[in-house]
Structure 1
Amino acid sequence: MSLQTALDKRQNNFDLLRLCAALAVMVGHSFWIQPHHGRVEPILQHTGLEYSGSLAVYTFFFLSGMLVSSSFERQTNVIRFAALRLTRIYPALIVCVALTAFVIYPALADSGLASTLFGHDAIEYFAKNTWLFSGVQWTLPGIFETAPIKSVVNGSLWTLPLELECYLLVLISGAFGCLHSRARMIIFAVIASVAFAYLLAHGSSFGPLQALTNKPTGYSFYPAPFFLLGMVLYVFRSHVKTNWGVLIVLFVAYAVFRKSSIAAPFFYVTFVYLLLALAMTPSLHSLVPKHDYSYGVYLWAFPVQQIVATRYPEMDNLVSLAIAVPATVVIAALSWHVVERPCIRFAHSRFGRPRTNTTIHDGSTRSN
């Protein structure tokens, strides 16, 4: 099966991969949120490069590069594309940040209900984390003060400004016709890669650009190049196919060179190829979830895990997941059915239909 078939006929496992990635973020974060007797996250311990959380974020961005490009190609105009993308990100985010700032924070903060509910800290937290374009605010005073990651309310939000910037890449490339021209896409990818390398080498005083080169603890690489790679593969989708034999060879090559200086390239190539193979494996189709809870899981996981870690500080981090994961999935289900899906349907009705009747789930961003 080619990537084009997987995209055009929805014979893919993208929703399943996104849900698994959101849950993997929870597993990875648990080793920092609730460290247990010096236990090290196993993927980081084995590779020395990445951990489950960083690989999950790369997965989101890689899939988004392909699927948001597909979304742009299917829209009737730029306004519709932008409206659908913003509608997919913001309603659930606004609800999450509002409930965090004005319900969870007053309920759990040490300083009391009145001072937190009517103080400027909650308002500032809400304003900055719903604007996004000036970065995100991770902390609030007086909450999670005894947690290993002190005062951090939602450490996962840092990827959202970066995701919006990556949407601009799709918008720019689409405006110049790169999404239906392989030659133009190659030129665009080279220019974008050179610009990214320049930012890495020289930095930037412009806040939004700083997000592109942000690399938190546990990361050895950056999410944005994975998004760009997804865009490139979308343009070459008719030629993109996977073979499990090739994947085995890549795994063996990585194992052979794991201790060498060239281990990293083998690792990332193998990782991307594995994602493509899993995305197009027919035997996994039956496991694809009916509803897309991945964004809700991603938004709510960190505060839920912080609450569990604060209430049960001595609990094993893997045991704590038995509490945090079900609670987060329930909240994510409410987010999908009460907020996300109604807003998606409203956006479709308000901004008209796409230029084709093909329905494709499109991006980090879960379904369009």
Structure 2
Amino acid sequence: MRHDNNFDFLRVAAALAVLISHVRPLHDNTFPLGDLGAVGVFAFFSMSGYLVSASWERDPHAGRFLSRRALRIFPGLAAAIAFAAFVVGPLVTNLSFGDYIRSPLLLQYCRSILLYPMSFSLPGVFADNPFRDNVNGSLWTLPMEVFLYGSVMAISLTLRSSQARIAALASLLALCYGLEIRQASGIVLTMPTQELYRCASSFIVGALLWQLRDDFRLPDWSWMPIVVFLLAVHATAVEVWSLILLVPLATVSFANASYGFIRRAGRFGDVSYGLYVYAFLIQQTLMHYFPSIGVNRFFVWSAALSAMAGFASWHLIEKRAIKLKGTLSRRVSSAAAATS
């Protein structure tokens, strides 16, 4: 996989797509492009499936793999949760500071750093917003992301041959497809199963594309007809599964290409994760302080502030955490050697 690719750009585009989709429930139900959220989420999961599978193959060690994934997810998430709970929350709650601090909802929200279960409410926060009592709805995808990281590791440790892993992934994709057709619903590890099937399917397609990269090389231009097809089937009965299966193909094709200035999108850092985990909170805060703000201004301000939050998150927290990967990996290896 070459390094002069479009992955950085596409991650930011996916995060912005999710932000755009939240304008509709948070501000204006008539705002167009609300369906972009699903495209953004499926693109994120397909890139994760592809890149996490590549990461495992480069270094197939369970301890080091888990440490890398933890350092990518949890430091930025912990900062976002703390910022919401101890900076934004006390400023916008309709409770007194004492009642806010003593509320069990505060501790419950802070426990979301463990991912299972997630809590989305803080005491008295955003109680009068159009989308009430939800502090950061975007975080619902993170438990699924971490669950799927573990699944990649489990499959890779259990099945040593590439063909066996491909067969297992294809079987899991078929299972998700079948359960979606049956509209099987429920909760698994606090995760809604219907959303889990869909996100897992995109992740699995991404993982399969990595496993099949030598035999099934997507041309750099193949994303173009896929996008045309998806536009053609918009709002039809086949749209959801067309998105789930074809967005990963278009995503990996576009991401592995190298287009001029697009491939340099990461020169300021990878702002996508921070943009994603702060956008919903920023949008809700804007609606709290400026309830009559126009929809276009709301979108521009929320995108600009979220991009700045992503920039700060990367340079102040995430980049520094990632630098610890080497140190932590060496300690994990030393501990494993000492116990063997």
Asked whether the two chains share a fold, i.e. TM above 0.5, the reply is: yes
Give the residue type in structure 1 aligned to 2:194. Answer: T
Determine whether 1:348 maps to 2:326: yes
Instruction: Give the match for residue 113 of structure 2.
Output: 130
Instruction: Give the match for residue 338 of structure 2.
Output: none
Instruction: Give the match for residue 218 of structure 1.
Output: none
Determine whether 1:337 maps to 2:315: yes
* In structure 2, C-alpha distance between the alignment counterparts of 1:204 and 1:263, rounded to whole Å: 23
Instruction: Give the match for residue 218 of structure 2.
Output: 241
Deviation at 1:111, TM superposition (A): 0.7
Q: 1:169 to 1:252 in 2, by over 3 A?
A: same
Give the residue type in structure 1 aligned to 2:11. Answer: R
Q: 1:227 to 1:250 in 2, by over 3 A?
A: closer
For structure 1, the residue ranges without an aligned partner over 5 or more in a row are 1-6, 45-50, 216-220, 356-368
Determine whether 1:88 maps to 2:65: no
Instruction: Give the match for residue 73 of structure 1.
Output: 57
Of residues 201, 204, 215 in structure 2, which corresponds to 1:225? 201
Moved more, 330-339 or 162-171: 330-339
Percent identity, aligned pairs only, is 25
Contact 1:76–1:354 under 8 Å retained in 2: no
* In structure 1, C-alpha distance between the alignment counterparts of 2:278 and 2:137, rounded to whole Å: 10
Give the residue type in structure 2 aligned to 1:160. Answer: L
TM-score, length basis structure 2: 0.86
Deviation at 1:161, TM superposition (A): 0.5
Contact 2:47–2:203 under 8 Å retained in 1: yes
CA RMSD of aligned residues (A): 2.7
Moved more, 60-69 or 73-82: 73-82
Contact 2:21–2:37 under 8 Å retained in 1: yes
* In structure 1, C-alpha distance between the alignment counterparts of 2:72 and 2:238, rounded to whole Å: 39
Q: 1:262 to 1:106 in 2, by over 3 A?
A: closer
Determine whether 1:214 maps to 2:214: no
Moved more, 24-33 or 309-318: 309-318
Matches within 5 A, 1:4-19: 7=1, 9-19=2-12
* In structure 2, C-alpha distance between the alignment counterparts of 1:276 and 1:233, rounded to whole Å: 8
Q: 1:249 to 1:336 in 2, by over 3 A?
A: closer
Instruction: Give the match for residue 326 of structure 1.
Output: 304
Of residues 256, 259, 272 in structure 1, which corresponds to 2:248? 272
Deviation at 1:292, TM superposition (A): 0.6
Matches within 5 A, 1:274-313: 274-283=250-259, 284-313=262-291
SS, match of residue 275 in structure 2: helix
Bigger relative CO (Cα 8 Å, ≥ 6 apart): 1
Deviation at 1:194, TM superposition (A): 4.7
Give the residue type in structure 2 aligned to 1:241. Answer: L
Deviation at 1:317, TM superposition (A): 2.2
Q: 1:120 to 1:14 in 2, by over 3 A?
A: same
TM-score, length basis structure 1: 0.80
Matches within 5 A, 1:19-30: 19-30=12-23
Instruction: Give the match for residue 156 of structure 2.
Output: 174
* In structure 2, C-alpha distance between the alignment counterparts of 1:354 and 1:275, rounded to whole Å: 34
Moved more, 93-102 or 226-235: 93-102
What is the number of residues matched between the two proteins? 328
Give the residue type in structure 2 aligned to 1:273. Answer: L
* In structure 2, C-alpha distance between the alignment counterparts of 1:197 and 1:256, rounded to whole Å: 22
Q: 1:119 to 1:14 in 2, by over 3 A?
A: same
Give the residue type in structure 1 aligned to 2:16. Answer: L
Contact 2:224–2:250 under 8 Å retained in 1: no
Contact 2:26–2:283 under 8 Å retained in 1: yes
Give the residue type in structure 1 aligned to 2:142. Answer: L
